[in-house]
Amino acid sequence: MNWFGFGFNGFGQIRANEKLADGESALDANVTYPISIDIVCRNLEEEPVQICQHNSSVDTQIRTSWSRRAALHSNSDGRLCLAGFGVGTPSQRGCGGCVEESRGCQDAHISEGYLALSFTDRVECWNSERNEKKPGWSMAIPDNNGPSLAFPLVPGGYIASKPPFYHPLSPQLLAVSLALGTEHAVLLTASGDIYTWGSGSHGQLGHGDLNPQEEPRAMEALMGMPMSTVAAGGWHSVCTSAGGDLYVWGWNESGQVGLPSRALRGEQQKSQGTGGASTCKDQESSDDVFISIQAFPALVDVTQSCEVSKISCGSRHTAAVTSTGDLYTWGWGEYGQLGQGTVNSSDEPRRVEFFKDQGLRVVDVVCGPWNTFVSAIKEDPSLHPDTNILYPL
Amino acid sequence: MAELWSAISAALPVTEAEFPLDFSEKVEPSVVDVLKRCREQLYTRSGRWRQNAQIILDFSWEKLNTGTWRDVDKEWRCLYSYGCLFKVAALCRDDASPATVQEAIRTCDMGLLMGAAIMDNILQTFVRILQNEIGKRHSNEEDPGEGVSAKKMKVDCVSVPVVKQDRAVPRIHCPSLESFKKDYLDPQKPVILEGIIDHWPAFKNHPWSIEYLQTVAGCRTVPVEVGSRYTDEEWSQTLLTVNEFIDRYIVVKGASSLGYLAQHQLFDQVPELKDDIRIPDYCCLGEGDEDDITINAWFGPGGTVSPLHQDPQQNFLAQVVGRKYIRLYSPEDTEKLYPHQLQLLHNTSQVEVESPDVVRFPAFVKAPYLECVLQPGEVLFIPVKHWHYVRSLELSFSVSFWWS
């Protein structure tokens, strides 16, 4: 598989710091089209320089924070490689930092302050500076006889992105998947029900009001319809049904819910030079319905025929992968995180044509707060499906 | 054009080393890294510092929208102000066109509205420099053909409510501190104080008018409430310049919506207007000092309505321009006023005062009240927690003083 990235690159998470043609540093530019990210990593601490090369049988996952991107190589020697703020010397290879402490880890979460590593028998939370010899916090994990849990779920609860790390969850919930937003959480249970809790100030809990919830509360609007995936952003939430329908709720200030956004249209009018008090007023017809907060889940038609298989949320944008291998993005686009070659935001799902143009089938998507990472494989059936090809910038 | 940049840079520390960037550990090192980049680019004049300023603005904006406004850490508000500072510097460095100057003023206003004062309130200093720039340009140009005074205001046929004698709020002329305290403050009785703001420059030296406001604050960005009242579904808040607000909601009153510059601490934002008013002496009867008094501006066309509600502090409502119809209910009669159950609105009544739904709210018509038409030059004392309903009868500008 190959990973591509686009959006905020202020710390070289997508493209390493290099001098561009016009003399500017790559860190000052936003990446608006998908570019291939090099996740061949180099262990900086050892001499001679070792290159751990992933081969076709190794799946690589991506984990992100605002200023960093981590590549999680899942072979038996599972290891995490970081790029971005504070990571080694940026080099032409892009990825600069193998995290020694991560050897053998199964999964990880990175936040601005911490790096959480999940092993089979324990969880460790390291300070991001990583100048200490041992993790700031760790917890042993009992043998889990139940179904395998997706991190940040652990037996009995979940791991948050800052202290206190461990939060218990009622075993009756039968949690299988958990998405943590900036101030809220979206939980998927074994029976396909969704529970939400945290701040509700922007409708992100989906209960039809703006009240916070201290304890997980079932989303009644979706009861009876088994859901299969969940994702959470800064102030919005997304889920897909078993049948591939997409539901979104929460703040729509930047169009991240995929419904008409007044704030977005207003900004677009201003930049097109149609600003000026009276003109704006004239163009607003009384039939326009704008949504700034969607407090109940809304069914969003990403595309007419296909099912949505994977979803991910950034701070204020949303990405969805269809069963036919297309990527759709919408929401805040000021850093190029929608991958459309512009810095425009969108309140309608739009396909990212790059992948189709390159004959690539999108397999997965992982959003950082202000950027997007996509894994894709070559669609050409004549090639061996496991062939690993890196595409030029 | 270079004059603008030299004025702006003169307001900044001379060297990079003297430019403070001190934050608590709450602000992550990655963010401080971007700030330092901004600072370096400001002094070396290289790099895309406009972009880096935007990163600071976007990051801090997200923090300002996390949690409740009251609980937002001051660090994030300071960070937002730094973002505004760097953005303004970047704008003024590039050019000094009218559009750029206006955008720079707007950026300063955003920092003043949402940020926290940094570097001796440098954003206020920037505003002064930028307004100067606009002033210079106007004195070089001829007066625009369509003068400000040529804008005709839509004149409303105003129906002035007749105040019943036995319901009238009592009036008193220039009472002594002692008699005000004994007769009204201590027993918590509403009263209209006459003659106590006649000395305000807002009446004498520069009488407030639309033209005066446009001159003094026309290019400043302010929050405006749009919609007939804040309990309506269609109600929203937006940011406009004072000029835009006047053009859109005062001069040509919108057929479908009202705009109200309401409950805004305009006098912190525009010091020239603060000089035109005085804090009533009677506020010294309270416990706090002057800094604890909240002064709000209320500026809008006829027809603006503040639904019946109560506030947690004593209030002097000073009327400067135009007239307002006001009705007052005692906190003793609260149950007859059917406050909203929602926490967010529990200080607001569900009843539409001038056309109550007697089926849903039968006890309302039995609640005793006082009413008045407040005229320019008069000050209404609204005791703490006293329910009040306000409707402007014409173009109106009021100043409220919340004190304890």
The whole-angstrom separation of Cα B58 and Cα B92 is 20
Least confident range from A312-326, B155-169, B219-233: namely: B155-169
Note whether B47 contacts A278, CB cutoff 8 Å: no
A199–B67: do the CB atoms touch at under 8 Å? yes
Beta bridge partner(s), residue A354: none
In whole angstroms, what is the distance from residue B328 CA to residue A8 CA? 55
Closest CA to A100 of A38, A42, A159, A37: A42
Which chain B residues are Cβ-neighbours of A24 within 8 angstroms? 47-48
To the nearest whole Å, the CA of A177 is away from the closest chain B CA by 24
Whether B159 is in a domain gets the answer no
**How high is the pLDDT of residue A275?**
39
On the question of pLDDT at B265 being above 50, the answer is yes
Are residues B127 and B22 part of one domain?
Answer: yes
Asked whether residue B158 is domain-assigned, the answer is no
The number of residues in chain A equals 393
User: Tokens 């009644």 identify what position?
Assistant: A220
Question: Which are the contacts of B242, defined by CB distance < 8 A and separation ≥ 6?
Answer: B213, B214, B217, B218, B219, B220, B222, B261
Are A183 and B28 a contacting pair at CB < 8 A? no
Pairing of strands B171-173, B191-194: parallel
B72-75 long-range contacts, CB within 8 A, separation 24+: B73/B26, B74/B116, B75/B23, B75/B24, B75/B26, B75/B27
Report the alpha-carbon distance of residue B35 to residue A196 in Å, rounded: 36
**Nearest-by-CA chain B residue for A182:** B66
* Interface touch B66/A183, C-beta < 8 Å: yes
C-alpha B391/C-alpha B255 separation (Å) is: 18
Chain-chain contact of A113 with B28 (C-beta, under 8 angstroms): yes
Out of A24, A286, A292, closest to residue B48 by CB: A24
What is the tens place of the pLDDT at every residue in A254-276? 999 999 998 888 777 766 654 33
Q: How far is B29 from chain A (nearest CA, A)?
A: 9
With a cut of 80, say whether residue A50 has pLDDT above it.
Answer: no
Report B:229-248 residues touching A (Cβ under 8 A).
Answer: 236, 240, 244, 247-248
Which pLDDT band holds residue B245 (cuts at 50, 70, 90)?
very high
Nearest to B248 among A8, A86, A281 (CB): A281
Domain of B215? 165-403
Q: Do both B113 and B205 map to the same domain? A: no
Do B132 and B279 belong together in one domain?
Answer: no
**CA distance linking residue A238 with residue A246, whole number of Å:** 7
Residue B219 has pLDDT above 90, yes or no: yes
CA distance A243 to A147: 22
A with B: how many residue pairs have Cβ under 8 Å apart?
A: 54
DSSP state of A19: B
The residue in chain A having the minimum alpha-carbon distance to the alpha carbon of residue B240 is: A277
Same domain (yes/no): B307, B221: yes
Verify that B48 and B175 share a domain, yes or no.
no
Are B208 and B353 contained in the same domain?
A: yes
In a domain, B40, yes or no: yes
**Inter-chain residue contact A24 with B248, CB threshold 8 Å:** no
CB B347 within 8 A of CB B294: no
Beta-sheet strand order (sheet of A2-7): A31-36, A2-7, A371-378, A360-367
Decide if B29 and A85 are in contact by the 8 Å CB cutoff. Answer: yes
Question: Which residue among B30, B247, B248 sits closest to A112, beta carbon to beta carbon?
Answer: B30
Among B65, B68, B234, the residue to mutate for chain A (most A Cβ within 10 A): B65
Please indicate whether, in this complex, the C-beta atoms of A286 and B256 are within 8 angstroms of each other.
yes
Backbone angles phi, psi at B321, to 5 degrees: -130, 135
* Residue B331 contacts A, CB cutoff 8 Å: no
| Cα–Cα distance measured from residue A320 to residue A352, given in angstroms and rounded to the nearest whole number | 10
Considering the domain boundaries, does residue B242 fall inside one?
yes
Are B94 and B9 in a shared domain? yes
Closest Cα to residue A219, out of A195, A238, A199? A195
Task: Give B54's contacts in chain A (Cβ within 8 Å).
Answer: 334
8 Å CB contact between A193 and A242: no
Domain total of chain B: 2
B147 within a domain of the structure (yes/no): no
Whether B52 and chain A come into contact, CB under 8 Å, resolves to yes
B256 in contact with chain A, both atoms CB, cutoff 8 A = yes
Both B214 and B132 in one domain: the answer is no
Query: Strand A360-367 relative to strand A346-351: parallel, antiparallel, unpaired?
Result: unpaired
Would you say residue B393 lies in a domain? Answer: yes
What does the pLDDT read at residue A22? 63
Do the domain assignments include residue B148?
no
Tokens of A213: 């919830």
A309 pLDDT band (50/70/90 cuts)?
very high
- Residue B156, token pair as written in the block: 């409303």
CATH (domain of B372):
2.60.120.650
Measuring CA to CA, how many Å separate A228 from each of A246, A247, A327, A349, B73? 10, 11, 18, 20, 37
Indicate whether B271 and B394 sit together in one domain: yes
Task: Looking at the structure, tell me whether residues B127 and B189 fall in a common domain.
Answer: no
Q: Which residues of B touch A183 (CB under 8 A)?
A: 66-67
Residue B149 in any domain: the answer is: no
Residue A142 has pLDDT above 60, yes or no: yes
Same domain, B283 and B245: yes
pLDDT tens digits for B360-391?
999 999 999 999 999 999 999 999 999 999 99
CB atoms A277 and B248 under 8 Å: yes
Residue-wise pLDDT tens digits, B292-334: 999 999 999 999 999 999 999 999 999 999 999 999 999 999 9
Region B219-247 average pLDDT: 88
Q: What residue in B sits closest to A289 (Cα-Cα)?
A: B234
What are chain A's domains?
2-39+64-88+102-145+174-268+289-378 (2.130.10.30)
Q: Answer for the pair A325, A363: CB distance below 8 angstroms, yes or no.
A: yes
Residues B197 and B342 in one domain: yes
- Three-state SS at B212: helix
pLDDT per position as a tens digit, A53-103: 444 446 789 999 999 999 888 765 778 888 888 876 544 443 457 787 888
